[in-house]
Amino acid sequence: MPAPVSFEFAIIRVVPRVERGEFINAGVMVFCLSRRFLGAKVGMDSGRLLALWPEADVELIREHLDAFPRVCAGGPDAGPIGMLSLRERFHWLAAPRSTIVQISPVHSGLCEAPEETLSALFGKLVSL
């Protein structure tokens, strides 16, 4: 069994009406430099979103959420940000923003397998 290593994670949230402060957890990002891992898993409960904001453009919001795993994976399909280093991509994605899709504060922990940690966090914090 590999030794535990440190990792950072942030929750991806949909905040349909910023002035109300309500949000739906819609994904998780995990960054583990020592294992050279950056990944995101997203999924949104459109029923919950529409309950908070009936006029929400669900498909547009899904497109924005789908960009997170693409940028984490890197490469030309992720645009200019996809060409940055793992650390730079994580910090760009985790930067505070005031749009409908927002990021929680960054948290840290220890894990043995970042891929498994990503799935576990998604199941615990987002699970549809």
pLDDT tens readout for residues 84-116:
999 999 999 999 887 899 999 999 999 999 999
Q: What is the pLDDT of residue 127?
A: 83
| Helix axis angle, 58-73 to 86-94, nearest 10° | 160
Residue 62 region by backbone torsions, left for phi larger than 0, else alpha for psi between -120 and 50, else beta: alpha
Q: What is the mean pLDDT of residues 3-9?
A: 96
Q: What is the mean pLDDT of residues 7-19?
A: 93
> Other CB atoms closer than 10 Å to residue 63's CB: what's the count?
10
Q: Looking up tokens 């029923």, which residue turns up?
A: 47
pLDDT tens for each residue of 32-82 = 999 999 999 999 999 999 999 999 999 999 999 999 999 999 999 999 999
Q: What is the pLDDT of residue 128?
A: 65
